[in-house]
Amino acid sequence: QVPTLKPMDLMVEASPRRTFANAHTYHINSISVNSDYATYLSADDLRINLWHLEVTNRSFNIVDIKPANMEELTEVITAAEFHPHHCNVFVYSSSKGTIRLCDMRSSALCDQHSKFFEEPEDPSSRSFFSEIISSISDVKFSHSGRYMMTRDYLSVKVWDLNMENRPVETYQVHEYLRSKLCSLYENDCIFDKFECCWNGSDSTIMTGSYNNFFRTFERGSRRDATLEASRESSKPRAVLKPRKVCASGKRKKDEISVDSLDFNKKILHTAWHPTENIIAVAATNNLYLFQEKVN
């Protein structure tokens, strides 16, 4: 009998290729593959470990901020990432809104940072929620390696690695939520961890918000857009209509008032294709892929 080709439906099955030994006591928040493609780091609330991709039963602890007395704990690690070009450099962010850049060449245990990034607090806007909203939920190096971006609850900040005392750019994601912080604290939304991402040329950054909205910011022109990822608002191939949230006062047509935002529909994860203008947006249990309109 001659073998025949039988068409079958595509079956996707995920199977683990490698399992790395349990080296974390706390929740893991980040994994970052190094530019050497040989090592990677994993970070939990209090520690960062360095692994070799081929070695599954051993890792090296490179950051440990656990205090001797847990009663003294006031700050945790929230995100970490390797530098895209310098395989000895990584950064990690904290719940107090700080970023530490570490050089693994300087010492085996990188408890001493090489650089410390923190923006001084604006005393006029201080409230009981200041610390919580300053907590950094994501940190991402630019593709160029010159900048890094951090996401806190209300804004996205771009930092020049050569300037530690303040970011070079700040973008407000949903400033209209500032007056609602107490409600958001009550319903726990204030603890939501949003990610952020760069486009391939580092000219545009993107992050998510509530009500299935996501925001893009063009760094050069300072243009920003609010778009929605939902079935109701978009049909395949249709151009997304920009959205606007009405913070206060009379609501214009097509605007959405802050009080009618759905805080259960949050876009925490977004990604940008490294070379094309294609983005992936995760909205609850749906994944949307959008691309630049091609004429």
Partner 1 sequence: MFVRGLKRKCFDGEEDIEGTLAGIKAIPSYNLQRQSLLDMSLVKLQLCHMLVEPNLCRSVLIANTVRQIQEEMTQDGTWQMINTQSTGQASLDRLVSTDILCRSSRDSAEGKHVPAYGTFNKDFESDQAQDRTETMSTASSVQAPRNLQSNVWEMENPQENKGNFQKSLDQIFETLENKSPNSVEDLFSEVDNSYYDLDTMLTGMMSNTKMGHCDSLETFSPPTNTASNSNCKSDLSDLDHIVEILVES
* 27 scored as a contact of partner 1 (CB under 8 A): yes
Map residues 43-82 to x or -, x wherever contact with partner 1 holds by CB under 8 A. Answer: --xx----------------------xxxxxxxx-x----
Which listed residue (58, 85, 105, 126) binds partner 1 by CB under 8 A?
126
Site for partner 1 contains 25 (CB under 8 A): yes
Q: Which of 34, 39, 98, 135 binds partner 1 (CB under 8 A)?
A: 135
d(CA 133, CA 26): 22
How many CB atoms within 10 Å of residue 199? Answer: 22
* Least distance from partner 1 to the Cβ atom of residue 121, Å: 13
Q: How far is the CB of 277 from partner 1 (least distance, A)?
A: 34
- Least distance in angstroms from the C-beta of 137 to partner 1: 10
Q: Which stretch binds partner 1 (CB under 8 A): 10-18, 107-115, 183-191, 285-293?
A: 183-191
Residue closer to partner 1 by CB (options 135, 204) is 135
Contact call for residue 183 and partner 1 (CB under 8 A): yes
Closer Cβ to partner 1, 134 or 212, answer by number = 134
Supply the minimum distance, in Å, between the C-beta of residue 160 and partner 1: 27
CB of 153 or CB of 217, closer to partner 1: 153
In the shown chain, the binding pattern of residues 185 to 204 toward partner 1, with x for contact by CB under 8 A and - for none, equals xx-x--x-------------
Q: Which of 109, 182, 287, 289 binds partner 1 (CB under 8 A)?
A: 182
Contacts for 235-243 with beta carbons within 8 Å, 24 or more apart? 239/293, 240/290, 243/213
Nearer to partner 1, 262 or 276 (CB): 262
Per rule CB under 8 A, is residue 26 in the interface with partner 1?
yes
Full DSSP string of the chain: ----------------S-------SS-EEEEEE-TTSSEEEEEESSEEEEEETT-SS-EEEEEE---SSGGG----EEEEEE-SS-TTEEEEEETTS-EEEEETTT-SSTTS-SEEE-PPP-GGG--TTHHHHHS--EEEE-TTSSEEEEE-SSEEEEEETT--SS-SEEEES-GGGGGGHHHHHHTTGGG----EEE-TTSSEEEEE-BTTEEEEEETTT--EEEEE--TTT--TTPPPPP-EEE-SSSPPTTEEEGGG--TTSB--EEEE-SSSSEEEEEETTEEEEEE----
Q: Which stretch binds partner 1 (CB under 8 A): 35-43, 52-60, 121-129, 285-293?
A: 121-129
How many other CB atoms sit within 10 Å of the CB of residue 177? 23
List residues binding partner 1 (CB under 8 A): 25-27, 45-46, 69-76, 78, 95, 125-129, 131-132, 135, 179-183, 185-186, 188, 191
